[in-house]
Amino acid sequence: MLDSRKYISVFDDMKVVKGIARTAIYDLAQGNIFFVPGIVGEVLLEKKERTLGAILTELPEEEREWLLDIITCLAEERIIHQVDGRELERFTPSKETLFSSGLIYNAVIELSGESRFLDELEEIIIEMCRLQCRYVALVVRQSIGNHKIASILQQIVRTDIQEFEVIWDCYDASRKTIEACLASEKNRAVIIPVSLPNKKLKEEAFAQERVYLSEGAFILDEEVMAAEIRNFFTVNKPFFYEAKNANPYFFKKVSIDRSGNIKNCLSQNFSYGNILDGSLEAILSGHSFQELWYVNKEKVRGCRDCEFRFACFDMRPPRKMGHDTWEYSTSCGYDVVQGQWTR
């Protein structure tokens, strides 16, 4: 039973995110999103210092019962609870800041038989570890020989890299190398092309945990990435805090293309330098390289008014339109004004 003399407080694991069309409540502990009308979002965010009774008296009579029903429902679902004045004073919400040590966390390395840096790869990986990189994805675009891949994996396993992933975007995967990946506890995933001609190998591999099939061409097309966004919403504490303060896809990430060009992601056309020419640390420390790291959705036109903005895992690089204002050249298909998907 709600008490009109008390205040409404949202549980700390529940985050209220206002959009234009509606308000979302993220349950960071359970990974769910609930939706409530915008006016309920306003009450939860902007009228925290008014008692329930005071909030209700400000509303037109016909809306009071309706709001009360929704607030009762939120209390029953343990999204909100009521507190008295003293409890309200004592309550300090958790800080939504981001703490992350090390210069980079994540590296994507594209490999092909023509990659001039293959012989330097061991030193490159050691340098990345020194900069505290903890996760490496190898994207094999063209046959570099299973022997070479096995030796790269051995190098990775010997370092402080905590997890690795191998993505074959060619038909070079052999039973032996797939097994070598899976044998390591550090392996997070092995991705093989759905069109791998060796059907038996594909079936055997796919039957194993951590092996996935891909359509190939490892997501470089922005239209494809945009269409996939709605399938990759992520609702949990680390993602929420990262999305509030940074760009969860680009933050502390480096990509090295098959020619050794250092980029934020493989789909970028320009590079910040070449791994064989310059110092990796100097490039990664530069403001221009890090600029995308901090482009969260609140800086992106259209997205800043979207209730999914702190759950949206978006691999598209945004374009700068003005001082700290960005936009995407493709649409994700979500109409933030109507609160509906258009495709």
* Site residues, ligand SF4 (CB under 6 A): 229, 297, 302-303, 306, 308-309, 312, 314, 332, 334, 336
Report the residue number, 195 or 340, with the smaller CB distance to ligand SF4. 340
CB of 50 to ligand SF4, least distance (A): 30
CB of 152 to ligand SF4, least distance (A): 35
Report the residue number, 202 or 309, with the smaller CB distance to ligand SF4. 309
Q: Give the Cα separation of 58 and 324 in Å (integer).
A: 38
Read off φ and ψ for residue 251, nearest 5 degrees: -60, 125
Report the residue number, 164 or 334, with the smaller CB distance to ligand SF4. 334
Report the residue number, 19 or 260, with the smaller CB distance to ligand SF4. 19
CB of 96 to ligand SF4, least distance (A): 17
Cα–Cα nearest to 11, from 70, 76, 77, 78? 78
Q: Give the Cα separation of 332 and 328 in Å (integer).
A: 9
CB of 338 to ligand SF4, least distance (A): 12
CB of 177 to ligand SF4, least distance (A): 36
Cα–Cα nearest to 83, from 152, 2, 14? 2
Q: Which residues contact 288 (CB under 8 A, 6 or more apart)?
A: 272
Q: How much of the chain is helix, strand and coil, in % rounded to 5?
A: 35, 20, 45
Q: Give the Cα separation of 302 and 21 in Å (integer).
A: 12
Q: What letter would DSSP give residue 51?
A: B
Cα–Cα nearest to 249, from 305, 307, 292, 306? 292
Report the residue number, 113 or 339, with the smaller CB distance to ligand SF4. 339
Report the residue number, 133 or 315, with the smaller CB distance to ligand SF4. 315
Q: Which residue has the tokens 């409530």?
A: 36
CB 214 within 8 A of CB 170: no
Q: Give the Cα separation of 301 and 318 in Å (integer).
A: 10
Report the residue number, 172 or 314, with the smaller CB distance to ligand SF4. 314
CB of 3 to ligand SF4, least distance (A): 37
CB of 222 to ligand SF4, least distance (A): 12
